Amino acid sequence: MFLTIKETARSRFKLLQFNAELMAQFSRPPTINVGGGQKFMTGLLISGNDVLVAASGSNNRRIEATANLKGYILCPEIRTSAGHFSRVGAAIPTLDYESTHRDGASQPGACAAPRLIEHAFTIPRIKNNWRNWEMSEIFYQPNTARRTRDDLFWVHGLSAPHCATCDSLIALLMCTRP
């Protein structure tokens, strides 16, 4: 069984605040040339008093600074060599994990959502509170000149749907089968 993690007004607003602060951090000197590095998904997960944040791609010191400022736990990048476990602690074979990759979508574990979920599983008080998780994902790309797509899904500051890989990967991570 796969239970969807709910998005709430609270998780969404906290992530909007995080992204606003992130923009402020990016604009501080030395200013980083606005390139491909400023195009990623951000994600936030609330569990009790804990708030986890994650971004797709590489964590950089602007994201670290923003997480520190907010007192949020920044999720590390997922190592492909590390083992993967579902919510009930079942080991996910590497082949199963990798087979969630869908054509045209991200590599498994590259996005913000699986990073949040897998890191949440490593902290018992957060893992055990999974029924009460609140999660949001918002796209970050302030430079409109660098947009590569012309649809309404990937717009700076707006919620974005999971990619096709995450759809199957999140189901695998949250699976209750031992």
Amino acid 10 reads R
Q: Which two structure tokens, joined as six digits, stand for 99?
A: 């087979």
Distance separating the N- and C-terminal Cα atoms of the chain: 11
Q: Which is nearer to Zn ion, 33 or 159 (CB)?
A: 159
CB of 162: closest distance to Zn ion in angstroms?
6
Shortest CB 106 distance to Zn ion, Å: 4
Site string for Zn ion, 60-99 (x = CB under 5 A): ----------------------------------------
Per CB under 5 A, the segment of 22-30, 81-89, 101-109, 116-124 that binds Zn ion is 101-109
Among 19, 106, 141, 168, binds Zn ion (CB under 5 A): 106
Judged by CB under 5 A, which of 55, 111, 117, 138 binds Zn ion? 111
- Which residues neighbour 91 within 8 Å (Cβ) at sequence distance 6 or greater? 83, 84, 85
Where are any strands of DSSP class E within the chain? 40-47, 50-55, 73-74, 84-85, 91-92, 134-140
Residue pair 130/87 in contact (Cβ under 8 Å)? The answer is: yes
Query: Pairing mode, if any, of strands 73-74 and 134-140?
Result: unpaired
x/- map, 149-178, Zn ion, by CB under 5 A:
--------------x-xx------------
Binding site for Zn ion (CB under 5 A): 106, 111, 163, 165-166
